[in-house]
Amino acid sequence: MIPVLETERLVMRGWAKGDFDRVAAFLGDEQLTRFVGGASGRDDAWRRFASMAGHWSLLGFGLWALEAKEDRRLVGWCGLLSPEGWPEPEIGWSLFAGEHGRGYATEAALRARDYAYRDLGWTTLMSFIHPDNRPSIRVAERLGARFEKPFVIRGWEVGIYRHPAAEPAKLKPANLN
């Protein structure tokens, strides 16, 4: 049900129960989660983990687990989300401790965006990014996204970064012979 996508260095796959400890460690880290809802204990981390997996069943799209091809380690997540209360679908990403600065978020987000546009037929995407989250703003800008406006979601002040629109399918000229 969850498509497996690949990039040069990553496998983007569905979630497995064995991923939980790595996700729980990330979600328990105050510094790493300050822009994605804050830290959680293991019980709340399990609910967030189950929500990421369940998003696929309910909506047909969601966040992929990002696995490095070189050694199969879980490095973070990236994908498409639109939970209750979201004004429109978002592309989001998070990387685990020690995985920043390698280009994984940009690489995965480009592939996820391509999937949204080509496979799902979407024409636009946005990302909510906290104004102090400079690394994510840089990723969005590398993806061609531009700041659109400030927004408040679930009590958090964020900026909406608008991703470039999908390019219309190129029409093939009719064969006149």
CA distance 133 to 129: 7
> What is the model's pTM?
0.89
61: tokens are 């799209």
Is residue 164 domain-resident?
no
The 10s digit of each residue's pLDDT in 155-175 is 889 999 999 987 755 433 444
**Residue 176 predicted with pLDDT over 70:** no
Is residue 116 domain-resident?
yes
Query: Structural domain tally of the chain?
Result: 1
Is residue 131 domain-resident?
no
Is residue 172 domain-resident?
no
Which CATH number belongs to the domain containing residue 9 in this structure? 3.40.630.30
The 10s digit of each residue's pLDDT in 82-120 is 988 889 999 999 999 899 999 999 999 999 999 999 999
Is residue 138 domain-resident?
no
Is residue 76 domain-resident?
yes
103 Cβ partners below 8 Å, 6+ apart?
Answer: none
Domain carrying residue 88: 5-122
Identity of the amino acid at 91: I
